[in-house]
């Protein structure tokens, strides 16, 4: 029967969609990147979310953040995200945390219950701790590097953290993770060199702060305020979400790509599917024969 996930099932298969329905994903940071991670995962059918962000929607978010509209300014991002998820599927379970993640509050989160963790924060201390906690719990994690001050979404890549280049945030992360013995980490990053912000007194958040009332961390307290576009952060979020869905379902499209070679796992799955098909056909044939026999006896 057709449903809201039917088009995704045509690509990934119904078994994959069923897997996503049972998955629980934690997203740390619900901004330009994280908001699109949530959006894409919700539309693909993730069954349970943990959303972590203490920030409220600001006017300056409207240029890139999918959750930011005139009507959501001043609202907590996690609340807006929860409402949007439930507008897509009321049955989705959503846990929200109006929390600025720090190592000190890491115990608030049920790490071992997560099936996947997405780090889309922009502070090194928080990113490192999230990665360490996820790996300690043996939960897959993907971390998104710097997306500010860039224009070209086609320069986004996924790779291991130790293969990144042209990304100042990734450079710091490589150094700090190496110190802590982290041998591998899946990341989304851009090979595009960062553009120096064209900042002056008229367009500076430092001199014209318009953070919503009640904001705990105002932009005037931040060391750097990067520029941003409607292109790179949302695309990075979509890319991270695609990795999450691929990893959770072990999706391998090669058997259905012209010229592609199926993996051993895909061959086994295809063989099992064919066996099930033949078994079902035999049962239907036997059922039909039994029905015909009953009719003959009744006559």
What tens digit of pLDDT does each residue of 137-183 get?
999 999 999 999 999 999 999 999 999 998 999 999 999 999 999 99
- Do 99 and 153 reside in the same domain of the chain? yes
- CATH code at position 213: 3.40.50.720
Q: Which of 97, 134, 170, 155 is nearest to 247 (CA)?
A: 134
- Do 151 and 16 reside in the same domain of the chain? yes
pLDDT of residue 91: 98
- Do 275 and 212 reside in the same domain of the chain? no
Asked if residue 59 belongs to a domain, the reply is: yes
- Do 162 and 217 reside in the same domain of the chain? yes
pLDDT of residue 263: 66
The CA-CA-CA angle for residues 30, 241, 87, to 5°, reads 60
- Do 83 and 220 reside in the same domain of the chain? yes
Asked if residue 254 belongs to a domain, the reply is: no
The Cα 63–Cα 32 span in angstroms is: 9
Q: Which residues of the chain have pLDDT under 70?
A: 201-210, 213, 215-223, 259-263, 266, 295, 297-299
User: Residue 113 is encoded by which pair of tokens?
Assistant: 């219950």
Q: For the stretch 211-225, what's the b/e string if a residue is b when 16 or more beta carbons lie within 10 angstroms of its beta carbon? A: beeebeeebeeeeee
pLDDT of residue 262: 66
The CA-CA-CA angle for residues 52, 54, 60, to 5°, reads 110
Q: For the stretch 8-18, what's the b/e string if a residue is b when 16 or more beta carbons lie within 10 angstroms of its beta carbon? A: bbeebbeebbe
pLDDT of residue 202: 64
- Do 200 and 129 reside in the same domain of the chain? yes
Asked if residue 73 belongs to a domain, the reply is: yes
- Do 147 and 110 reside in the same domain of the chain? yes
- Do 141 and 115 reside in the same domain of the chain? yes
Asked if residue 94 belongs to a domain, the reply is: yes
pLDDT of residue 81: 98
- Do 46 and 193 reside in the same domain of the chain? yes
Range of the domain at 138: 6-249
pLDDT digits (tens, 9 = 90+) for 269-279: 778 877 887 88
pLDDT digits (tens, 9 = 90+) for 260-298: 666 677 677 778 877 887 887 787 787 777 777 776 766
């Amino acid at each position: 029967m057709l449903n809201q996930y039917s088009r995704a099932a045509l690509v990934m298969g119904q078994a994959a969609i069923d897997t996503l329905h049972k998955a629980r994903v934690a997203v740390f940071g619900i901004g330009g990147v994280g908001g699109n991670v949530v959006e894409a995962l919700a539309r693909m059918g993730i069954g349970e979310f943990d959303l972590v962000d203490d920030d409220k929607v600001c006017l300056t978010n409207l240029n890139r953040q999918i959750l930011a509209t005139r009507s959501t300014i001043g609202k907590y991002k996690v609340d807006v995200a929860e409402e949007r998820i439930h507008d897509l599927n009321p049955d989705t379970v959503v846990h929200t945390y109006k929390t600025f993640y720090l190592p000190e509050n890491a115990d608030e989160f049920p790490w071992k219950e997560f099936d996947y963790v997405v780090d889309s924060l922009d502070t090194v201390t928080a990113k490192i701790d999230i990665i360490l906690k996820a790996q300690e719990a043996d939960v897959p994690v993907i971390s998104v590097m710097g997306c500010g001050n860039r224009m070209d979404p086609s320069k986004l890549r996924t790779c291991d953290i130790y293969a990144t280049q042209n990304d100042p945030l990734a450079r710091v992360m490589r150094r700090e993770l190496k110190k802590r013995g982290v041998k591998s980490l899946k990341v989304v990053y851009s090979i595009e060199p960062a553009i120096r912000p064209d900042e002056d007194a008229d367009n500076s958040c430092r001199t014209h702060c318009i953070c919503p009332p009640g904001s705990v961390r105002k932009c005037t307290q931040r060391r750097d305020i990067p520029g941003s576009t409607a292109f790179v952060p949302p695309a990075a979020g979509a890319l991270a979400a695609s990795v999450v869905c691929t990893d959770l379902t072990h999706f391998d499209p090669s058997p259905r790509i012209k010229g592609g070679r199926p993996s051993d796992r895909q061959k086994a799955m295809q063989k099992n599917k064919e066996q099930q098909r033949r078994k079902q056909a035999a049962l239907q044939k036997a059922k039909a024969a039994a029905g015909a026999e009953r009719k003959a006896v009744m006559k």
